[in-house]
Amino acid sequence: QKEVEQNSGPLSVPEGAIASLNCTYSDRVSQSFFWYRQYSGKSPELIMSIYSNGDKEDGRFTAQLNKASQYVSLLIRDSQPSDSATYLCAATDFYNQGGKLIFGQGTELSVKP
Amino acid sequence: DTEVTQTPKHLVMGMTNKKSLKCEQHMGHRAMYWYKQKAKKPPELMFVYSYEKLSINESVPSRFSPECPNSSLLNLHLHALQPEDSALYLCASSPQAGTDEQYFGPGTRLTVT
């Protein structure tokens, strides 16, 4: 199993719908998780971080962490065409405390007007 | 303010050239990172500096040479690169090297001819 896995997509949702992005992880990563949004040709932008079990909400975004099942998800409510981007799930390397981020392959999201 | 700046935005260099990429942050962060990203792939860690000391080198070829002159600046010196080194080079910073959130700069698009 890869340390951090995501479905590559593309995931297509209509405007106004909820987009659900999922990520699973192995024991090789620590308990710090991050979601980055990356528009084509641009750099990753941090949109959510989550460190403890449960939900964390910020505006239209909700991150969910389930340690028992080893998955982390990102929900985007009222999706907009401007949300169309690649979403990267990342976790810190448990064995390397130097700050190494382990990324999933990214999920491409397309929001159709 | 979570701004990390990088210069230049674009760089084209021949295989015999020497050039440098620059990164700057004024958030008081004590950890700075260099990543390399190829198209349709997640960022790959190259180097980590913690308190101005190199703490992680991900077995990067010696044609890439990092330097951290002070806590706000990070350079990446390039020499004798290969065409396969063409990529987006990203700088990031975080309060500490560990499980803290990392903030990325806009990147330098490098083309080696």
Closest chain B residue by Cα to residue A4: B42
Give the H or E element holding residue A27: none
- Compute φ and ψ for A82, nearest 5 degrees: -70, -10
Strand partners, A19: A76
pLDDT tens digit at each of 113 positions of chain B: 569 999 999 999 999 999 999 999 999 999 999 999 999 999 999 999 999 999 989 999 999 999 999 999 999 999 999 999 999 999 999 998 877 899 999 999 999 99
Contact A44 B96 (CB under 8 A): no
The average pLDDT across A104-109 equals 96
Indicate the residue of B98, B101, B105 with minimum beta-carbon distance to A43. B105
Is the CA virtual torsion A64, B36, B75, B47 positive or negative? positive
Shortest CA gap B16–chain A (Å)? 27
Quick: pLDDT tens for B18-31: 999 999 999 999 99
Closest chain B residue by Cα to residue A105: B42
Quick: pLDDT tens for A68-95: 999 999 999 999 999 999 999 999 876 6
- Compute φ and ψ for B53, nearest 5 degrees: -115, 140
Mutate to test the interface with B, among A33, A43, A93 (most CBs of B within 10 A): A43
